[in-house]
């Protein structure tokens, strides 16, 4: 029987994915990656889910990196397989047509930080530590860390973090724009729930188009990104939610978005 290392629970419009290897600080291995991909794809396809939250079990780690046991005796071919497996997960997080919130409740190192960087919004406990320590193992990040960290925090920060391999505090990560907010550990779950509820109350189609536009803005040239934004903006006018938003504003009431 396969151990359940990742769970996906739905409460109302919010889906929560939890990596459950607390004794191993929720480290990524092949089984975790496989189950995590399945969970992301299932919640992405579930129309009742408007927001996905990703976290790790316990209060010590979000994901403390890859399971080093899988590195011993590994060949370049094995490393390619490992990197491809993680890329499938990060690709799925980015492609999810709904906001994905990383709730960083502890260590987010190596592959753990790479997972968080693929999420739309990251919030963290004040006790969290974020880093890419692969250089200390004689390797470098292989799950998108060098690319996404550079795009989010800039080349200087990415070089410092990857070349020294030293983690940074949650407060430092906030100052660098790596996380959107920092909370006392005992307040993190409440803050995450409040954020998820606020996102879930918005128009799903507009959020999906917004996420798509933001993703394009990261990689495309300015004109291409502007054209994509215009198309996404126009598509929202095909929905009942757009009309509801406008009418609610004029009536000075809160809109009720149905996803239509």
Known catalytic residues are 114, 134
DSSP at 28? B
Q: How far apart are CA 259 and CA 206, in angstroms?
A: 9
Helix (H, G, I), strand (E, B) or coil at 187: helix
Q: Are 83 and 28 in contact (CB under 8 A)?
A: no
Residue 173 to residue 61: CA distance in whole angstroms:
16
Helix (H) or strand (E) holding 61: strand 61-63
Q: What is the DSSP string of 220-244?
A: S-HHHHHHHHHHHHHHGGGSHHHHH
Q: Any long-range contacts for 215-222 (C-beta under 8 Å, 24+ apart)? A: 215/94, 218/151
Could you tell me if 82 and 74 are in contact, meaning their C-beta atoms sit under 8 angstroms apart? yes
Question: How far is CA 12 from each of CA 40, 168, 260, rounded to the nearest angstrom?
Answer: 17, 35, 17
Specify whether the CB–CB gap between 52 and 17 falls below 8 A.
yes
The Cα 126–Cα 51 span in angstroms is 23
Taking the alpha carbons of 182, 188, 194, 197 in that order, is the dihedral positive or negative? positive
């Amino acid at each position: 029987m396969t151990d359940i290392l990742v769970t996906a629970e739905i409460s109302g419009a919010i889906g929560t994915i939890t990596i459950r290897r607390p004794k191993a600080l929720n480290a990524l291995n092949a089984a975790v990656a496989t189950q995590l991909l399945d969970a992301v794809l299932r919640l992405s396809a579930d129309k009742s889910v408007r927001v996905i939250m990703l976290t790790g079990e316990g209060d010590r780690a979000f994901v403390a990196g890859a399971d080093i046991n899988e590195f011993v005796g590994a060949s370049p071919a094995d490393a390619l397989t490992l990197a491809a497996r993680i890329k499938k997960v990060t690709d799925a997080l980015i492609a999810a047509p709904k906001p994905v919130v990383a709730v960083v409740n502890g260590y987010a190192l190596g592959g753990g930080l790479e997972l968080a960087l693929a999420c739309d919004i990251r919030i963290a406990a004040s006790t969290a530590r974020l880093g890419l320590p692969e250089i200390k193992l004689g390797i470098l990040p292989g799950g998108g860390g060098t690319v996404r960290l550079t795009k989010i925090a800039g080349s200087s920060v990415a070089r410092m973090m990857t070349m020294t391999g030293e983690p940074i505090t949650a407060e430092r990560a906030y100052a660098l724009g790596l996380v959107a907010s920092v909370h006392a550990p005992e307040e993190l779950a409440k803050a995450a729930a409040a954020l998820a509820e606020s996102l879930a109350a918005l128009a799903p189609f507009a959020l999906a188009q917004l996420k798509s536009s933001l993703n394009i803005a990261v990689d495309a040239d300015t004109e291409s990104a502007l054209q994509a934004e215009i198309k996404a903006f126009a598509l929202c006018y095909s929905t009942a939610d757009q009309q509801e938003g406008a009418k609610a504003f004029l009536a000075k009431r809160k809109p009720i978005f149905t996803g239509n």
